[in-house]
């Protein structure tokens, strides 16, 4: 069964459309923090898309408007800046900035699985180097559900290729979060069976992007590109 790759990036930007700017009046600083955007994630996702010749499905409005990586009905779907909006206004946010991405990606996976392909979904994210004073040890986190056989297999392949590219790289499974926690791939696991859909959040430490060391950042991008390429090549053989 041929393996194909679908690239997504839910936290690619910090855009706030003009009609919602008032929600952040006087609090614009937050839009330039990790709470609003995954620094570097859009760059990495675009780099992968270009190098692998794949389309990229991304959300460029800030997660502080509506959180594209959370399921309907969860506490974190709306941020402290949008929580208090009226029900209709929240619905409008969902219709404009949440459902289109979800529907588009889901339709693409549906199309691929219907054609008999296996789907490797890589949702590209980055995480803040320290949270609440705690330094996170991972440099690259592979988030997945170990209960799912295809994910388990591909996770180990991806890690092996990353370590092959750089044995020193701290590549950890399910760090800084467990892959089975709520997120877009978790939602999609409920829709597609484990032999056809493997959903990953690939989480990269933002320190590489934030510390201004362009060489280190480019090296991480390259290692990830090579590793994904190798996994896809093996899957097509």
Tell me the C-alpha to C-alpha distance, in Å, between residue 77 and each of 9, 18, 19, 52, 125: 16, 21, 19, 31, 17
Angstrom distance (rounded) from CA 218 to CA 52: 16
Per the CB < 8 A criterion, the answer to whether 123 and 69 are in contact is: yes
Does 223 interact with Zn ion (rule: CB under 5 A)?
no
Min separation Cβ 38 and Zn ion, Å: 4
Could you tell me whether strands 134-135 and 130-131 are parallel, antiparallel, or unpaired per DSSP bridges? antiparallel
Q: Point out which span in 28-36, 120-128, 163-171, 182-190 binds Zn ion (CB under 5 A).
A: 120-128
Q: Point out which span in 10-18, 114-122, 135-143, 229-237 binds Zn ion (CB under 5 A).
A: 10-18
The gap from C-alpha 132 to its chain's centroid, in whole angstroms, comes to 22
Nearer to Zn ion, 38 or 151 (CB): 38
Does 125 interact with Zn ion (rule: CB under 5 A)?
yes
Interface pick for Zn ion out of 3, 16, 38, 198 (rule CB under 5 A): 38
Helix, strand, coil tally for the chain in percent (to 5): 45, 20, 40
Min separation Cβ 43 and Zn ion, Å: 13
Does 11 interact with Zn ion (rule: CB under 5 A)?
yes
Alpha helix segments (H runs only) across 40-168 = 41-52, 87-97, 99-114, 149-165
Per the CB < 8 A criterion, the answer to whether 156 and 44 are in contact is: no
Min separation Cβ 68 and Zn ion, Å: 9
Nearer to Zn ion, 151 or 201 (CB): 201
Min separation Cβ 127 and Zn ion, Å: 7
Does 70 interact with Zn ion (rule: CB under 5 A)?
no
Binding residues (CB under 5 A) for Zn ion: these are 11, 38, 125
């Amino acid at each position: 069964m041929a393996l194909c790759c679908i690239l997504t990036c839910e936290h690619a930007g910090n855009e706030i459309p003009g009609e919602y700017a008032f929600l952040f009046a006087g609090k614009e600083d937050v839009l330039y923090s990790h709470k609003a955007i995954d620094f570097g994630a859009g760059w990495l996702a675009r780099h992968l898309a270009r190098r692998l010749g794949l389309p990229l499905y991304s959300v460029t409005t800030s997660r502080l408007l509506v959180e594209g990586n959370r399921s309907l009905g969860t506490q974190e779907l709306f941020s402290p800046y949008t929580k208090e909006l009226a029900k209709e206004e929240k619905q409008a946010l969902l219709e404009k900035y949440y459902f289109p991405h979800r529907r588009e990606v889901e339709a693409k996976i549906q199309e691929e699985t219907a054609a008999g392909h296996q789907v490797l979904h890589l949702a590209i994210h980055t995480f803040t180097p320290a949270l609440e004073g705690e330094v996170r040890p991972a440099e690259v986190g592979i988030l997945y559900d170990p209960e799912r056989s295809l994910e388990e297999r591909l996770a180990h392949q991806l890690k092996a290729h990353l370590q092959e590219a750089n044995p020193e790289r701290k590549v950890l499974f399910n760090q800084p979060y467990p892959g089975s926690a709520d997120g877009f791939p978790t939602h999609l696991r409920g829709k597609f069976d484990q032999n056809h859909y493997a959903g990953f959040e690939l989480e990269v430490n933002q320190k590489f992007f934030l510390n201004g060391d362009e060489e280190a950042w480019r090296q991480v991008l390259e290692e990830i590109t090579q590793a994904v390429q190798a996994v896809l090549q093996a899957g097509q053989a």
